[in-house]
Protein backbone atom coordinates (compact mmCIF):
# COMPACT_ATOMS: atom_id res chain seq x y z
CA UNK A 1 0.00 0.00 0.00
CA UNK A 2 1.52 3.34 -1.01
CA UNK A 3 1.90 6.26 1.39
CA UNK A 4 -0.85 8.34 -0.19
CA UNK A 5 -3.42 5.62 0.45
CA UNK A 6 -2.13 5.01 3.99
CA UNK A 7 -2.42 8.75 4.72
CA UNK A 8 -6.02 8.80 3.50
CA UNK A 9 -6.93 5.77 5.62
CA UNK A 10 -5.25 7.11 8.76
CA UNK A 11 -6.88 10.53 8.28
CA UNK A 12 -10.29 8.90 8.06
CA UNK A 13 -9.66 6.44 10.91
CA UNK A 14 -8.47 9.06 13.41
CA UNK A 15 -10.55 11.99 12.13
CA UNK A 16 -7.83 14.38 10.95
CA UNK A 17 -7.68 16.75 8.03
CA UNK A 18 -5.61 14.90 5.46
CA UNK A 19 -2.92 17.57 5.15
CA UNK A 20 -2.01 17.12 8.83
CA UNK A 21 -1.29 13.40 8.54
CA UNK A 22 0.62 14.03 5.33
CA UNK A 23 2.81 16.53 7.18
CA UNK A 24 3.41 14.04 10.01
CA UNK A 25 4.52 11.45 7.46
CA UNK A 26 7.06 13.90 6.02
CA UNK A 27 8.35 14.90 9.45
CA UNK A 28 8.32 11.62 11.36
CA UNK A 29 7.79 8.76 8.92
CA UNK A 30 5.02 6.15 8.88
CA UNK A 31 5.80 4.31 12.12
CA UNK A 32 6.13 7.37 14.35
CA UNK A 33 3.09 9.02 12.73
CA UNK A 34 0.91 6.05 13.66
CA UNK A 35 2.27 6.09 17.22
CA UNK A 36 1.56 9.83 17.48
CA UNK A 37 -2.01 9.43 16.21
CA UNK A 38 -2.65 6.53 18.58
CA UNK A 39 -1.16 8.41 21.54
CA UNK A 40 -3.47 11.36 20.89
CA UNK A 41 -6.39 8.98 21.50
CA UNK A 42 -5.10 7.81 24.89
CA UNK A 43 -6.24 9.11 28.26
CA UNK A 44 -3.91 11.67 29.80
CA UNK A 45 -3.99 12.34 33.50
CA UNK A 46 -4.48 15.96 34.58
CA UNK A 47 -1.67 17.56 36.53
CA UNK A 48 -1.24 20.15 39.25
CA UNK A 49 1.57 22.31 40.60
CA UNK A 50 1.65 22.81 44.37
CA UNK A 51 1.92 26.47 45.36
CA UNK A 52 4.77 27.10 47.78
CA UNK A 53 3.66 30.72 48.18
CA UNK A 54 0.68 29.52 50.20
CA UNK A 55 1.82 26.49 52.16
CA UNK A 56 4.58 23.94 52.55
CA UNK A 57 4.13 21.51 49.62
CA UNK A 58 4.32 18.43 51.83
CA UNK A 59 1.35 19.70 53.84
CA UNK A 60 -0.62 20.40 50.66
CA UNK A 61 0.20 16.93 49.34
CA UNK A 62 -0.95 15.29 52.59
CA UNK A 63 -4.20 17.29 52.56
CA UNK A 64 -4.97 16.20 49.01
CA UNK A 65 -4.09 12.55 49.67
CA UNK A 66 -6.34 12.61 52.72
CA UNK A 67 -9.12 13.72 50.36
CA UNK A 68 -8.55 10.68 48.18
CA UNK A 69 -6.22 12.19 45.59
CA UNK A 70 -3.70 9.77 44.12
CA UNK A 71 -0.63 11.73 43.05
CA UNK A 72 2.29 10.69 40.86
CA UNK A 73 5.47 12.79 40.74
CA UNK A 74 6.24 14.63 37.50
CA UNK A 75 9.96 13.90 37.02
CA UNK A 76 10.92 17.39 35.84
CA UNK A 77 9.04 19.34 38.51
CA UNK A 78 9.72 19.44 42.26
CA UNK A 79 6.14 20.43 43.02
CA UNK A 80 4.28 18.96 40.04
CA UNK A 81 2.06 15.87 40.18
CA UNK A 82 -0.15 13.92 37.84
CA UNK A 83 -3.52 13.28 39.47
CA UNK A 84 -4.24 9.64 38.70
CA UNK A 85 -7.38 9.53 40.84
CA UNK A 86 -9.61 12.08 42.53
CA UNK A 87 -13.07 12.03 44.08
CA UNK A 88 -13.60 15.69 43.23
CA UNK A 89 -13.19 17.94 40.18
CA UNK A 90 -9.77 19.58 40.46
CA UNK A 91 -11.22 23.07 40.19
CA UNK A 92 -13.86 22.54 42.90
CA UNK A 93 -11.84 21.75 46.02
CA UNK A 94 -11.23 24.03 48.98
CA UNK A 95 -7.51 23.69 48.34
CA UNK A 96 -7.89 24.92 44.78
CA UNK A 97 -9.99 27.92 45.81
CA UNK A 98 -7.44 28.78 48.49
CA UNK A 99 -4.69 28.73 45.86
CA UNK A 100 -2.81 25.77 47.27
CA UNK A 101 -2.34 24.36 43.78
CA UNK A 102 -2.60 25.38 40.14
CA UNK A 103 -4.06 23.08 37.49
CA UNK A 104 -1.33 23.04 34.85
CA UNK A 105 -0.22 20.65 32.15
CA UNK A 106 2.99 18.87 33.11
CA UNK A 107 5.07 20.08 30.17
CA UNK A 108 3.90 23.67 30.74
CA UNK A 109 5.81 23.66 34.02
CA UNK A 110 9.12 23.59 32.15
CA UNK A 111 9.33 27.13 30.62
CA UNK A 112 9.33 29.01 33.94
CA UNK A 113 11.90 26.57 35.36
CA UNK A 114 14.35 26.91 32.47
CA UNK A 115 13.97 30.71 32.45
CA UNK A 116 15.49 30.36 35.94
CA UNK A 117 14.23 33.63 37.44
CA UNK A 118 15.92 35.09 40.51
CA UNK A 119 14.25 37.19 43.24
CA UNK A 120 16.04 40.29 41.93
CA UNK A 121 14.86 40.00 38.32
CA UNK A 122 12.49 42.11 36.28
CA UNK A 123 10.56 39.57 34.20
CA UNK A 124 8.17 40.12 31.30
CA UNK A 125 5.56 37.43 30.60
CA UNK A 126 4.39 38.52 27.16
CA UNK A 127 1.27 36.38 26.70
CA UNK A 128 0.44 35.62 30.29
CA UNK A 129 -3.24 34.78 30.78
CA UNK A 130 -4.71 32.82 32.43
CA UNK A 131 -1.59 32.79 34.60
CA UNK A 132 -0.12 29.29 34.86
CA UNK A 133 3.39 30.31 33.94
CA UNK A 134 3.10 33.73 35.61
CA UNK A 135 2.17 32.24 38.98
CA UNK A 136 4.94 29.67 38.54
CA UNK A 137 7.48 32.46 37.93
CA UNK A 138 6.26 34.27 41.07
CA UNK A 139 6.62 31.04 43.03
CA UNK A 140 10.20 30.53 41.81
CA UNK A 141 10.99 34.18 42.66
CA UNK A 142 9.50 33.76 46.16
CA UNK A 143 7.20 36.71 45.43
CA UNK A 144 10.17 39.05 45.07
CA UNK A 145 11.41 41.01 42.06
CA UNK A 146 8.89 42.24 39.49
CA UNK A 147 6.81 40.43 36.87
CA UNK A 148 5.03 42.41 34.16
CA UNK A 149 2.31 40.18 32.72
CA UNK A 150 0.60 41.10 29.44
CA UNK A 151 -2.42 39.79 27.58
CA UNK A 152 -4.45 41.29 24.76
CA UNK A 153 -7.77 39.69 25.75
CA UNK A 154 -9.70 41.58 28.48
CA UNK A 155 -11.59 38.46 29.59
CA UNK A 156 -8.37 36.48 29.91
CA UNK A 157 -6.83 39.33 31.92
CA UNK A 158 -9.68 38.89 34.40
CA UNK A 159 -8.71 35.21 34.70
CA UNK A 160 -5.08 36.19 35.15
CA UNK A 161 -5.89 38.65 37.95
CA UNK A 162 -8.15 36.08 39.64
CA UNK A 163 -5.38 33.49 39.60
CA UNK A 164 -2.77 35.96 40.85
CA UNK A 165 -4.99 36.79 43.81
CA UNK A 166 -5.98 33.16 44.43
CA UNK A 167 -2.35 32.04 44.44
CA UNK A 168 -1.13 34.86 46.69
CA UNK A 169 1.08 36.50 44.05
CA UNK A 170 2.29 39.95 45.16
CA UNK A 171 5.09 40.79 42.71
CA UNK A 172 3.11 40.93 39.46
CA UNK A 173 1.34 43.69 37.54
CA UNK A 174 -1.16 42.61 34.88
CA UNK A 175 -1.61 44.68 31.72
CA UNK A 176 -4.43 44.39 29.19
CA UNK A 177 -2.17 45.21 26.27
CA UNK A 178 -1.13 43.66 22.98
CA UNK A 179 2.32 42.17 23.52
CA UNK A 180 3.38 43.68 20.19
CA UNK A 181 3.04 47.09 21.84
CA UNK A 182 4.91 46.56 25.11
CA UNK A 183 7.89 48.56 23.87
CA UNK A 184 5.76 51.65 24.61
CA UNK A 185 6.09 51.03 28.35
CA UNK A 186 9.82 51.62 28.07
CA UNK A 187 10.96 48.90 30.47
CA UNK A 188 13.95 46.67 29.84
CA UNK A 189 13.63 43.22 31.38
CA UNK A 190 16.28 40.87 32.68
CA UNK A 191 14.40 37.89 31.31
CA UNK A 192 11.36 37.36 29.09
CA UNK A 193 8.96 34.45 28.75
CA UNK A 194 7.19 34.27 25.40
CA UNK A 195 4.71 31.42 25.43
CA UNK A 196 3.53 32.40 21.99
CA UNK A 197 -0.04 32.15 20.68
CA UNK A 198 -0.11 29.22 18.27
CA UNK A 199 -2.38 26.80 16.44
CA UNK A 200 -2.41 24.55 19.51
CA UNK A 201 -1.71 21.50 17.37
CA UNK A 202 -0.02 19.86 20.32
CA UNK A 203 -3.26 19.97 22.33
CA UNK A 204 -5.10 17.43 20.20
CA UNK A 205 -4.72 14.84 22.97
CA UNK A 206 -6.90 17.10 25.16
CA UNK A 207 -9.02 18.76 22.47
CA UNK A 208 -9.84 16.46 19.52
CA UNK A 209 -11.70 19.28 17.74
CA UNK A 210 -8.27 20.60 16.73
CA UNK A 211 -7.92 17.68 14.33
CA UNK A 212 -10.13 19.57 11.90
CA UNK A 213 -10.19 23.18 13.10
CA UNK A 214 -6.78 24.35 11.84
CA UNK A 215 -5.72 24.94 8.26
CA UNK A 216 -2.33 25.56 6.68
CA UNK A 217 -3.23 29.24 6.51
CA UNK A 218 -3.51 29.28 10.31
CA UNK A 219 0.03 27.94 10.65
CA UNK A 220 1.34 30.67 8.33
CA UNK A 221 -0.58 33.36 10.22
CA UNK A 222 0.69 32.17 13.61
CA UNK A 223 4.26 31.87 12.36
CA UNK A 224 4.31 35.48 11.14
CA UNK A 225 2.85 36.73 14.43
CA UNK A 226 5.32 34.65 16.44
CA UNK A 227 8.28 36.17 14.60
CA UNK A 228 6.98 39.66 15.32
CA UNK A 229 6.44 38.84 19.00
CA UNK A 230 9.94 37.42 19.29
CA UNK A 231 11.40 40.58 17.71
CA UNK A 232 9.59 42.63 20.35
CA UNK A 233 10.97 40.36 23.07
CA UNK A 234 14.50 40.93 21.79
CA UNK A 235 13.98 44.70 21.88
CA UNK A 236 12.62 44.60 25.44
CA UNK A 237 15.28 42.40 27.06
CA UNK A 238 18.65 43.73 28.19
CA UNK A 239 21.89 42.73 26.47
CA UNK A 240 22.88 39.37 27.88
CA UNK A 241 19.27 38.84 28.96
CA UNK A 242 17.41 35.56 28.50
CA UNK A 243 14.34 34.77 26.40
CA UNK A 244 12.36 31.54 26.60
CA UNK A 245 10.22 30.86 23.54
CA UNK A 246 7.60 28.11 23.79
CA UNK A 247 4.48 26.88 22.02
CA UNK A 248 2.00 24.04 22.37
CA UNK A 249 2.45 23.19 18.69
CA UNK A 250 4.57 20.60 16.94
CA UNK A 251 4.54 22.44 13.60
CA UNK A 252 8.12 23.40 12.64
CA UNK A 253 6.82 26.62 11.08
CA UNK A 254 5.75 27.78 14.55
CA UNK A 255 8.93 26.64 16.25
CA UNK A 256 12.27 25.98 14.57
CA UNK A 257 11.41 28.02 11.47
CA UNK A 258 10.54 31.01 13.68
CA UNK A 259 13.83 30.78 15.60
CA UNK A 260 15.80 30.10 12.41
CA UNK A 261 14.43 33.26 10.83
CA UNK A 262 15.26 35.37 13.90
CA UNK A 263 18.80 33.95 14.14
CA UNK A 264 19.55 35.41 10.72
CA UNK A 265 19.13 38.86 12.26
CA UNK A 266 22.18 38.12 14.49
CA UNK A 267 20.68 39.53 17.71
CA UNK A 268 20.34 36.34 19.76
CA UNK A 269 22.09 33.03 20.27
CA UNK A 270 20.58 29.70 21.31
CA UNK A 271 21.55 28.32 24.71
CA UNK A 272 21.39 24.81 26.13
CA UNK A 273 18.27 24.17 28.17
CA UNK A 274 20.26 21.83 30.42
CA UNK A 275 17.43 19.34 30.75
CA UNK A 276 17.78 15.63 30.06
CA UNK A 277 14.21 15.04 28.89
CA UNK A 278 12.54 15.91 25.60
CA UNK A 279 13.59 15.28 22.00
CA UNK A 280 16.13 17.50 20.25
CA UNK A 281 14.86 20.33 18.09
CA UNK A 282 14.71 19.79 14.34
CA UNK A 283 17.58 20.94 12.14
CA UNK A 284 15.97 19.68 8.94
CA UNK A 285 12.26 19.84 8.18
CA UNK A 286 10.26 19.61 4.96
CA UNK A 287 13.51 19.66 2.97
CA UNK A 288 14.82 22.84 4.62
CA UNK A 289 18.16 22.80 6.42
CA UNK A 290 18.04 24.88 9.59
CA UNK A 291 20.56 26.40 12.01
CA UNK A 292 22.49 23.46 13.62
CA UNK A 293 22.17 24.98 17.10
CA UNK A 294 18.42 24.39 16.98
CA UNK A 295 19.34 20.92 18.20
CA UNK A 296 19.61 22.62 21.64
CA UNK A 297 15.87 23.32 21.68
CA UNK A 298 13.47 20.65 22.91
CA UNK A 299 10.33 19.01 21.58
CA UNK A 300 7.77 16.98 23.52
CA UNK A 301 5.34 14.48 22.04
CA UNK A 302 2.36 12.48 23.36
CA UNK A 303 3.81 9.17 22.12
CA UNK A 304 7.21 9.71 23.73
CA UNK A 305 6.55 11.76 26.86
CA UNK A 306 2.85 11.28 27.70
CA UNK A 307 2.37 15.05 27.43
CA UNK A 308 0.85 17.45 24.97
CA UNK A 309 2.97 18.38 21.96
CA UNK A 310 5.28 21.21 23.01
CA UNK A 311 8.38 23.15 21.97
CA UNK A 312 10.90 25.17 24.04
CA UNK A 313 13.94 27.20 23.05
CA UNK A 314 16.24 29.32 25.23
CA UNK A 315 18.05 32.36 23.79
CA UNK A 316 20.39 35.08 24.98
CA UNK A 317 20.53 38.57 23.53
CA UNK A 318 23.96 39.43 22.17
Residue 125: CATH number of its domain = 3.40.50.150
Kindly report the CATH number assigned to the domain that includes residue 76: 3.30.70.1170
251 shares its domain with 303: yes
Q: Give one DSSP letter per residue of 172-229, joined into a string.
A: EEEEES-GGGGGGG---EEEEEEE-----GGGTTT-GGGGTS--HHHHHHHHHHHHHH
pLDDT score at 184: 87
Domain boundary among 103, 130, 145: 103
113 shares its domain with 98: no
229 shares its domain with 195: yes
173 shares its domain with 313: yes
301 shares its domain with 192: yes
127 carries an active-site annotation: no
Parent domain of 226 = 107-317
- Spans of the chain below 70 pLDDT: none
Domain boundary among 84, 103, 122: 103
313 shares its domain with 195: yes
96 shares its domain with 158: no
53 shares its domain with 200: no
194 shares its domain with 74: no
Q: How many CB atoms lie within 10 A of CB 85?
A: 10
pLDDT, tens digit (0-9, with 9 covering 90-100), for 24-72: 999 999 999 999 999 999 999 999 999 999 999 999 999 999 999 999 9
- Measured in Å, how far apart are the chain's first and last C-alpha atoms? 51
165 shares its domain with 53: no
Q: How far apart are CA 153 and CA 103, in angstroms?
A: 21
Angle between helices 216-236 and 256-263 (to 10 degrees): 40
Q: How far apart are CA 264 and CA 267, in angstroms?
A: 8
Q: Pick the catalytic residue: 222, 236, 248, 313?
A: 248
143 shares its domain with 229: yes
What's the predicted TM-score (pTM) here? 0.96
18 shares its domain with 134: no
* Domains identified in the chain, total number: 3
Amino acid sequence: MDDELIIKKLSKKFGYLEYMVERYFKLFGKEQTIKLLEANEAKFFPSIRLNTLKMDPLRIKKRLEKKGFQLKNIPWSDYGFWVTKSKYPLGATTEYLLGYYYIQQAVSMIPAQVLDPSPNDIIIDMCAAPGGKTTHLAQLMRNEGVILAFDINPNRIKSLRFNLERCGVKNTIGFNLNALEIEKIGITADKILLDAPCTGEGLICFDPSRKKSRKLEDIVFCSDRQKNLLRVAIKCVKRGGIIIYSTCSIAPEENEFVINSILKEKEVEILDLNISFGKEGLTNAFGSKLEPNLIKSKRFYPHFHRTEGFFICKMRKR
